[in-house]
A and B are shown apart, each in its own frame.
Chain A
């Protein structure tokens, strides 16, 4: 049992902090700090800055740009990045399809995709969920039928995040409708978004933004060499991918940063001539969230220290569950600090309302998503009850 980081890790943390706060463009970090959406160009610039320094895909195999770091180093890397308001490498590239191709793709696919994925020369999007396949993903109905050297894809995907920026899609498709278990007849295909027969339709969200999309496939022809891994093993790859997705999904560094910002906001707003932050109920609420966040961070450190064998610690479900709840609680706190100012979401240049108060409610509404994506919190409770408690 020891509190401090080793001198080597302390130096590592300092190195990360210095890089993120000096080498990533100020404008991009200010956009994140202001909690505004990044443009496609900003995403790409940030990820390329990281990739040039070997910091975009440290968890990949070393021969494809990985760093061979320990889980604790990965944790420090991620936390420092979030604290410095650096956008994380695009998750569809860095955490999802990249590791799957590295683990299950053939050599030709690795050479073809991995360098371009790490450098975001290809912007990937995810074709998993369907209108009738949400938490029950294995009931997906998009089909791929073999025709000569091609697969012919028909069906529909939904919740495709930032699909409007994407060059390629990785897509779960049903290749064996006769399989006894529905999980056994699924394969993983990749293809360009500008393939003939692909149509993208934006979905407007309650925050007024355009973040997710529906994607329709009508007789899309995909060359056979674009099937990743083995035919009908797609479900295994999806589970592998979603396991990676859960790591880091707690976004503790981001929550710490937002809570620190909330403290500053609560000092800007006055009640009866005194800062709102000094009102006992408000101070209690902030202090309680801060303690919950500390408990979560410590649990994350326990988990990363015990997942060295590559398998996620079962308590990682706790991280997703509580991490998402705290993200939501803190965005809710910011709306409450803004009070009536929180109504001015779409005020323009002439408004007296500070920028942080304008983005508060859209962000709060948008963040309802975090307890739904990446395996809804009900799925996480099912995992905890089943896998950990044996219920």
Chain B
């Protein structure tokens, strides 16, 4: 049991922090970048690629760095710390992760190398209107005619769906005698029968309505197999990465709030003279540290090859509760300025709210954990490897 990062990991953190501080140390820069499409800075994205960060979790033979969950966690946390709008978890961990999980060697070599180099922006098209946080697809269907696959239906919201060069799409397999279930497909941005309508999300990002009308698609993997279990695992990996991004954001929100309490004066004294406020800040610290411990542990479980789905649910629940608590209190302790777009703290609350709803919120994770709560006597975090 060891909760410390090694020196290479600390160096990585320093390097990422340096790069992102140059880009977004001035929060006005983030406002300028997110005001125009694609909602992030292509130059910063290229610099992340040059540093090798966009290929961190992919195997070296596929153009990646072969790094583990801790390195991804470090990048995600630094992204969250300055609210960098670059879609790291979305494009690398989620979309890239689906290709890595289901693709053939040739598909991995092509798509993952493109993601790692920063030349291919991949987006996961998985969510469907009217359902939530399912590992399988229902409304978008895949049909095979001869050797060719086509997709029909609507995915929304697809994060970065309008800008993406390639979409990684989950679709329900139809057709008599087929395996059924959900398969994964690649759809190129210029595919016929594909229409995309992009819009802003409340946290400064971009999403899209993506319609497939018999759009040609390339099956990921050799066979049309049910990929639900692989999708569940990749979603879990992304939930853990989001937990770290949320930790970075919460950490900044708390530090910004504490600084404000020390400088802002009312009634002739600084706000930190009011115990009603300092106690609430102390409770925010408690929430943050408990969530941080859980996120770090979930990455350890992933690293050790344990039950990543259950560990991700636990991290999701803890960071969801903490994100809401810290996000709301950060604004309240600031007062009116916390609600303004000119000031950073409200943007953290917006981002934390978005993270909370992309891949499952706290109550959703809780109900999954509750379904199995009688199945074990206690949770042993040192279990090797942890099994839910």
Contacts and interface: CB of A to CB of B under 8 A. Distances in A.
A382 B275 CA distance: 8
Majority secondary structure of chain A interface residues (helix, strand, loop or mixed)? helix
A1 B70 contact: yes
B33 interface: no
A9 B384 CA distance: 13
A301 interface: yes
Contacts of A306: 3
A385 B279 contact: yes
Contacts of A295: 290-291, 293-294, 318
A384 B378 contact: no
29 contacts: A1-B9, A4-B304, A83-B378, A257-B378, A260-B378, A263-B374, A277-B373, A280-B370, A284-B366, A286-B370, A287-B370, A287-B373, A291-B369, A293-B379, A295-B291, A298-B293, A298-B297, A299-B293, A302-B3, A302-B296, A305-B1, A305-B3, A306-B3, A318-B290, A385-B281, A389-B282, A389-B285, A391-B261, A391-B272
A15 B306 CA distance: 25
A296 B297 CA distance: 12
Given A2-B300, A4-B382, A263-B374, A381 B3 contact: no
A72 interface: yes
B286 A391 contact: no
A385 B382 CA distance: 31
A2 B367 contact: no
Interface string A244-288: 000000000000110110010001000000000110100110111
Contact of B381 (A2, A283, A294, A380): A294
Interface in A370-391: 378, 380-382, 384-386, 388-391
Nearest to B1: A5
Contacts of A260: 377-378
B187 to A, nearest CB: 37
B282 A385 contact: yes
User: Ordered nearest first, which 7 A-B pairs have the shortest CB separation?
Assistant: A298-B293, A3-B300, A283-B370, A385-B278, A4-B384, A384-B282, A287-B370
B353 interface: no
B14 interface: no
A321 B282 CA distance: 10
Nearest to B317: A291
A297 interface: yes
Task: Identify the interface centre among A5, A10, A284, A391: most chain B CB within 10 Å of its CB.
Answer: A391
Given A294-B314, A381-B279, A385-B279, A391 B381 contact: no
B286 A318 contact: yes
A299 B294 CA distance: 8
B208 interface: no
Given A4-B304, A284-B367, A259 B262 contact: no
A259 to B, nearest CB: 7
B258 A391 contact: yes
A1 B291 contact: no
A11 to B, nearest CB: 13
A280 B337 CA distance: 40
Nearest to A10: B384
Contact of B303 (A1, A390, A391): A1
Contacts of A74: none
B343 interface: no
Interface string B303-335: 110100000001001100000000000000000
B242 interface: no
A280 B369 CA distance: 11
A390 B262 contact: yes
Contacts, number: 158
A1 B4 contact: yes
Contacts of B258: 389-391
A318 B9 CA distance: 27
Interface range on chain A (Cβ under 8 Å from partner): 35 or more
Task: Identify the interface centre among B254, B286, B301, B318: most chain A CB within 10 Å of its CB.
Answer: B286
A2 B381 CA distance: 12
Contacts of A37: none
Contacts of B3: 1, 301-302, 305-306
Interface in A292-316: 292-299, 301-302, 305-306, 315
Contacts of A72: 1
A322 interface: yes
B299 interface: yes
B301 A3 contact: yes
A384 to B, nearest CB: 4
Interface in B318-377: 318, 366-367, 369-371, 373-374, 377
B366 A298 contact: no
Interface string B149-163: 000000000000000
A1 B5 contact: yes
B290 A322 contact: yes
Nearest to B3: A302
Contacts of B306: 3
Contacts of B369: 287, 290-291
A13 B289 CA distance: 26
B223 interface: no
B18 interface: no
Given A277-B374, A294-B381, 13 more contacts: A1-B4, A1-B303, A2-B300, A3-B381, A260-B377, A286-B370, A291-B318, A291-B366, A292-B318, A301-B3, A305-B3, A306-B3, A381-B278
A298 B294 contact: yes
A200 B371 CA distance: 52
Contacts of A292: 290, 318
A3 B293 contact: no
A5 to B, nearest CB: 5
Contacts of A4: 1, 304, 382, 384-385
Contacts of A390: 258, 262
Task: Identify the interface centre among A13, A283, A291, A302: most chain B CB within 10 Å of its CB.
Answer: A291
B222 interface: no
Given A286-B370, A305-B4, A388-B285, A3 B386 contact: yes
B315 to A, nearest CB: 9
A216 to B, nearest CB: 35
Given A1-B3, A4-B1, A391-B272, A288 B293 contact: no
